[in-house]
């Protein structure tokens, strides 16, 4: 089975999600990476080290901005050349639009929100949680190439130390594809890792009491080397930026450790974080729904517990 992985990059590095997907693809068979951008040839080595045997590079000024439509043109050309059975995308704002645009362009089936890919009776099957993760759906495709968007943080990158063969591909762009133009791009400065890439997330909700309460989350996250996330309620209230929102209308994350401070655990939040490895919840309401799915639930005052916890973690780490 020949799998092509769309490798997204940012700031001169391939995203962790894309590298993780290369590892998954390599477990399914022959693996190739696609890197699209302007001045991105140097990223091919990293794809090779993480499991790609071939890297297709489309290096073109039309791909400088992180916009989807010229990427659909480029990817359609690469898919045709590579003859891929599967094309995988680590879910992101950009990747979702590229995947769906490609699906329409080449009339290929797309399954999204996939948390695993398995081969059953010779056929690729995508596992996808649905209806607020109350049911796990086995999804298939009736034709190839099969397209899939994989939930962020699902697979960890594995360094294989391999060397990829690099193939440069020239493509032409559709008129409509380059009509949308990026006129401004502002990086969001954050001290720690982004919530999609973080192994540890400390998330805050209404129970923090006030916007200033996020200082507790930030301090604990700093001690643990993690990132800070927020619930929709506090983002709506303007306590914390939308980019940190986890949940149905925010981001889906699956860190190794998720510490929820003052979060009730409404379904809208739950669907964005229940894939986390270990969930620790601190809430003063013993009946908060989050205790139904937290691995360790602590009924207590987060204002007492969080600072002490940060202190203990720091002491332990020396």
- Of 35-54, which residues contact other proteins (CB under 8 A)? none
Tell me whether strands 227-230 and 165-168 are parallel, antiparallel or unpaired.
unpaired
Q: Which is nearer to other proteins, 85 or 133 (CB)?
A: 133
Q: Which is nearer to other proteins, 10 or 168 (CB)?
A: 10
Q: Which is nearer to other proteins, 135 or 191 (CB)?
A: 135
Largest CA distance in the chain: 60
d(CA 119, CA 126): 9
Residue 71 in contact with residue 8, Cβ under 8 Å?
A: no
Q: According to the binding rule CB under 8 A, does residue 97 interact with other proteins?
A: yes
Nearest CA to 240 out of 262, 270, 267 is that of: 262
Tokens 């809430």, located at residue = 283
Q: Can you tell me which of 66, 162, 193, 289 binds other proteins, judged by CB under 8 A?
A: 66
Q: Which is nearer to other proteins, 26 or 290 (CB)?
A: 290
Q: Which is nearer to other proteins, 143 or 212 (CB)?
A: 143
Tokens of 201: 């997330």
CB 166, min distance to other proteins, A: 25
Q: According to the binding rule CB under 8 A, does residue 191 interact with other proteins?
A: no
CB 163, min distance to other proteins, A: 29
CB 113, min distance to other proteins, A: 5
d(CA 6, CA 75): 8
List, in order, residues 6 or more apart from 262 with CB less than 8 Å away.
204, 205, 206, 207, 208, 209, 213, 282, 283, 284, 302
Q: According to the binding rule CB under 8 A, does residue 3 interact with other proteins?
A: no
* Residues across the chain: 318
Task: State which of positions 294-313 bind other proteins (CB under 8 A).
Answer: 294-301, 304-306, 308-309, 311-313
Q: According to the binding rule CB under 8 A, does residue 249 interact with other proteins?
A: yes
Q: Mapping DSSP to helix (H, G, I), strand (E, B) and coil, where does residue 30 land?
A: strand
Task: State which of positions 112-151 bind other proteins (CB under 8 A).
Answer: 112-113, 125, 129-143, 149
Q: How many CB atoms lie within 10 A of CB 317?
A: 9
With CB under 8 A as the contact rule, which of the stretches 46-54, 158-166, 194-202, 211-219 interacts with other proteins?
Answer: 194-202
Q: According to the binding rule CB under 8 A, does residue 193 interact with other proteins?
A: no
Could you give the angle at the alpha carbon of 22 between the alpha carbons of 149 and 66, nearest 5°?
55
Site string for other proteins, 208-247 (x = CB under 8 A): ----------------x-----------------xx----
CB 149, min distance to other proteins, A: 7
Tokens 């769309």, located at residue = 6
Q: According to the binding rule CB under 8 A, does residue 64 interact with other proteins?
A: no
d(CA 192, CA 244): 12
Q: Can you tell me which of 28, 158, 215, 280 binds other proteins, judged by CB under 8 A?
A: 280
Q: Which is nearer to other proteins, 163 or 312 (CB)?
A: 312
Tell me whether strands 278-283 and 30-37 are parallel, antiparallel or unpaired.
unpaired
Q: Which is nearer to other proteins, 59 or 199 (CB)?
A: 199
């Amino acid at each position: 089975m020949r799998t092509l992985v769309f490798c997204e990059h940012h700031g001169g590095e391939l995203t962790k999600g894309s590298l993780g997907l290369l590892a998954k693809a390599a477990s399914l068979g022959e693996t190739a990476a696609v890197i699209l951008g302007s001045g991105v040839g140097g990223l091919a080595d990293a794809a090779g080290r993480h499991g790609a045997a071939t890297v297709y590079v489309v290096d073109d000024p039309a791909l400088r901005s992180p916009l989807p439509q010229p990427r659909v043109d480029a990817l359609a050309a690469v898919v045709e050349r590579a003859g891929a059975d599967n094309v995988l995308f680590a879910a992101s704002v950009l990747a979702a639009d590229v995947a769906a645009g490609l699906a329409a362009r080449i009339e290929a089936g797309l399954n999204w929100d996939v948390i695993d890919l398995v081969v059953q009776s010779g056929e690729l099957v995508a596992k996808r949680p649905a209806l607020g993760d109350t049911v796990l759906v086995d999804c298939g495709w009736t034709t190839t190439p099969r397209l899939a968007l994989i939930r962020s943080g699902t697979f960890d990158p594995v360094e294989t130390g391999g060397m990829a063969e690099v193939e440069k591909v020239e493509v032409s762009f559709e008129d409509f594809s380059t009509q949308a133009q990026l006129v401004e791009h502002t990086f969001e400065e954050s001290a720690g890792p982004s919530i999609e890439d973080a192994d540890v997330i400390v998330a805050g909700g209404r129970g923090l009491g006030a916007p200033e309460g996020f200082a507790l989350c930030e301090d604990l996250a700093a001690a643990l080397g993690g990132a800070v996330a927020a619930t929709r309620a506090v983002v709506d209230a303007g306590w914390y930026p939308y980019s940190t929102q986890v949940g149905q209308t925010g981001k889906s994350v699956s860190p190794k450790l998720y510490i929820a401070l003052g979060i009730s655990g409404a379904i809208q939040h739950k669907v964005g974080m229940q894939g986390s490895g270990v969930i620790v919840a601190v809430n003063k309401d013993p009946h908060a729904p989050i205790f139904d799915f937290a691995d360790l639930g602590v009924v207590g005052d987060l204002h007492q517990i969080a600072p002490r916890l940060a202190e203990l973690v720091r002491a332990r780490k020396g």
